[in-house]
């Protein structure tokens, strides 16, 4: 007889509450949870666990409920308490909508018997083999349980390796792992690793594609030492990375390493190439947040060198990079940015009323080049995103802006780093132009709007 996954009694009660929620009751549930002593972080974790328990993870929105809360929680640190409420409300409505969607479940997470080999190393190799075979989804899940329960493995790097190898097929294959790892780290929540990562393994073991990885794995050059950044070299490398045909990015990276380009210069060029594509093409929040995951790995001090090397080579070779590079005829030339002074009020008005997004990208660039605060700009763009779109777009765009802010602040190129948030402004404006009705439905549930 199969049994349901064993939860702590209080956790089971709370996740069942989420399953029974409807949109109109979501804000009341958040308030009730807070009155019972739960923090925003606790509520984000509950939403992730409810998603892991109930949502069928074989559909097109696989895993979104389990890994989106972490980046939203981080991004909310920029926001006022009212907008933190709105970010949490958007996330909660997103999860309740998933649970009610007829394309999903309810998938009840069941207990699984652990499967292990004689040694931990053998178990990890079998896990990797079974995932990439594409034929043993459930066995892969059993192996995950064995590694977690019986061999107490810290699987962050093994799961990251599996996900990176599949990243070119779809950015979500890395997002579902990397963002979940960060989420569990932020909340000291590794006690919940099994329910959070089992959906990820279901996804990674379903139709895996490691074609590009297999082509480059034997000849990738080791990632170079960081060194000093060269602004001139960055400018040249950005153009080359944007122009190179899809799938040849890893070859160009190796060519640049042979030429002696240092790691920090390559890092800046990859980050700026991603944001430039955001400004010029229909590169979207999904695409750029995938690149941000690879950038996290490239700069992480504790990341194994082989994963840093792989992340650097594959960063710009995602599925959405391919889509944009094969349709270059639709790319646009960004408007000139000169540093003309723009106030945040003016910028917010532009972004909220700019169907094409180009004026918004220009205004954001001008704001930063004229000395504006990246954090204030990011906060403003997040507020527009949260108030002009429904849960799906709001969540993805806020994550995007948070990542672009991190790259802006990490960059050593003050005269070029404005391009990151400039590209984000374009996406926020275009989304607002089409998704405002979905945003209005959420605003009707938000307390500040109810009090007006």
341-378 per-position pLDDT tens digit: 999 999 999 999 999 999 999 999 999 999 999 999 99
Query: pLDDT-derived band of residue 451, with 50, 70 and 90 as boundaries?
Result: low
pLDDT at 452: 47
Higher pLDDT, 152 or 94: 94
Least confident of 174-183, 192-201, 236-245, 442-451: 442-451
User: How do residues 69-107 score in pLDDT, each as one tens digit?
Assistant: 999 999 999 999 999 999 999 999 999 998 888 877 677
The pLDDT tens digits for 248-288 are 999 999 999 999 999 999 999 999 999 999 999 998 898 99
pLDDT of residue 99: 87
pTM: 0.96
Residue 210 pLDDT greater than 80, yes or no: yes
| HSE toward the beta carbon, residue 103, CA cutoff 13 A | 8
pLDDT digits (tens, 9 = 90+) for 387-410: 999 999 999 999 999 999 999 999
Task: Return all residues near 294 (Cβ < 8 A) that are at least 6 apart.
Answer: 164, 167, 174, 270, 311, 312, 314, 315
Residue 214, CA distances (Å) to 123, 125, 218, 329, 357 in order: 22, 17, 8, 30, 38
pLDDT at 143 exceeding the cut of 50:
yes
pLDDT value of residue 58: 66
**Of 165, 154, 153, which Cα lies nearest the Cα of 116?**
153
Q: Please give the Cα distance from 351 to 429 (Å, whole number).
A: 5
Domain ranges in the chain are 1-210, 231-330, 344-450
Of the ranges 28-32, 62-66, 199-203, 226-230, which one carries the lowest mean pLDDT score? 62-66
Mean pLDDT of 176-188: 94
For the chain, give the percent of residues with pLDDT over 90: 86
pLDDT band at 132 (very low <50, low <70, confident <90, very high): very high
For residue 151, pLDDT beyond 60: yes
Write out pLDDT tens, residues 289-341: 999 999 999 999 999 999 999 999 999 999 999 999 999 999 999 999 999 99
The model's confidence at residue 247, banded by pLDDT at 50, 70 and 90, is: very high
At what angle are helices 172-186 and 285-299 packed, to 10 degrees? 60
Specify the pLDDT at position 153: 67
Determine the pLDDT at residue 108. Answer: 85
Model confidence at 59: pLDDT above 70 = no
pLDDT beyond 80 at 429: yes
Q: Quick one: pLDDT at residue 1?
A: 56
Supply the mean pLDDT for the chain: 93
HSE at residue 50, side-chain half, CA atoms within 13 A, is 28
Return the pLDDT at 104. Answer: 75
């Amino acid at each position: 007889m199969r049994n349901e996954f064993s939860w702590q009694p209080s956790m089971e009660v709370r996740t069942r509450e989420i399953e029974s929620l409807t949109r109109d009751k979501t804000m009341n549930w958040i308030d009730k949870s807070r009155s019972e002593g739960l923090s925003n972080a606790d509520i984000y974790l509950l939403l992730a666990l409810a998603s892991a328990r109930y949502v069928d993870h074989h559909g097109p929105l696989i895993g979104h409920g389990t890994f989106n809360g972490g980046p939203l929680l981080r991004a909310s640190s920029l926001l006022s308490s009212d907008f933190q409420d709105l970010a949490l409300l958007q996330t909660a409505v997103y999860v309740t909508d998933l649970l009610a969607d007829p394309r999903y479940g309810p998938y009840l997470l069941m207990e699984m018997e652990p499967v292990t080999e004689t040694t931990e190393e053998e178990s990890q190799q079998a896990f990797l083999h079974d995932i990439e075979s594409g034929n043993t989804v459930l066995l892969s899940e059993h192996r995950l349980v064995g590694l977690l329960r019986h061999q107490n493995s810290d699987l962050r790097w093994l799961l990251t390796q599996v996900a990176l190898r599949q990243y070119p097929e779809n950015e979500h294959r890395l997002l579902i792992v990397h963002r979940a790892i960060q989420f569990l780290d932020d909340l000291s929540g590794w006690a919940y690793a099994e329910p959070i990562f089992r959906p990820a393994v279901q996804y990674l073991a379903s139709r895996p594609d490691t074609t590009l990885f297999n082509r480059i794995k034997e000849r990738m050059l080791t990632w170079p030492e960081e060194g000093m950044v060269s602004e001139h070299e960055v400018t040249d490398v950005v153009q080359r990375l944007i122009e190179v045909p899809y799938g040849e990015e890893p070859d160009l990276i190796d060519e640049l390493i042979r030429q002696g380009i240092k790691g920090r210069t390559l890092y800046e060029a990859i980050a700026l190439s991603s944001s430039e594509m955001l400004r010029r093409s229909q590169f979207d929040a999904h695409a750029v947040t995938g690149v941000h995951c690879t950038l996290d790995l490239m700069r992480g001090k504790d990341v194994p060198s082989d994963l840093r090397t792989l992340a650097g080579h594959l960063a710009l070779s995602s599925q959405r990079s391919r889509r944009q590079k094969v349709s270059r005829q639709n790319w646009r030339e960004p408007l000139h940015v000169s540093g003309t002074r723009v106030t945040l009020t003016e910028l917010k008005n532009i972004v909220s009323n700019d169907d094409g997004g180009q004026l918004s990208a220009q205004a954001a660039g001008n704001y930063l080049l004229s000395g504006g605060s990246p954090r204030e700009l990011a906060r403003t763009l997040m507020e527009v995103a949260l108030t002009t779109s429904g849960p799906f777009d709001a969540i993805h765009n806020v994550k995007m802006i948070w990542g672009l802010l991190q790259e802006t602040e990490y960059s050593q190129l003050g005269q070029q780093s404005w391009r990151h948030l400039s590209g984000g402004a374009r996406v926020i404006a275009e989304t607002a132009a089409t998704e405002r009705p979905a945003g209005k439905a959420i605003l009707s549930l938000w307390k500040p709007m109810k009090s007006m």
